[in-house]
Amino acid sequence: MNFDTNLLSRFAGVPELTVRVGFEVKGPANEVGEKVDEVRDGLKDLGPDLGAIGN
């Protein structure tokens, strides 16, 4: 399911919509670092303002 398409499309006519996404991962940097980068890249695909998440 595409969260942005299936759920948020209901608000397409609303002038202001704020979505907050958060997650926390603990573990060795070499194990989680690449996966966190993949999630960050996926969030960037949802909108231009999401590129700053986690920086």
4 assigned to some structural domain: no
CA distance 22 to 10: 22
pTM here is 0.46
pLDDT at 15: 85
Give per-residue pLDDT as tens, 13-48.
888 887 777 778 888 888 888 888 888 787 777 665
When divided into structural domains, the chain yields a total of 1
Q: Does the pLDDT value for residue 6 go beyond 60?
A: yes
- 9 in a structural domain: no
**pLDDT of 55:** 47
Residue 54 lies in a domain: yes
CA distance 40 to 35: 9
What does the alpha-carbon distance between residue 50 and residue 7 come to, in Å, rounded to a whole number? 18
Domain membership of residue 31 as a residue range: 22-55
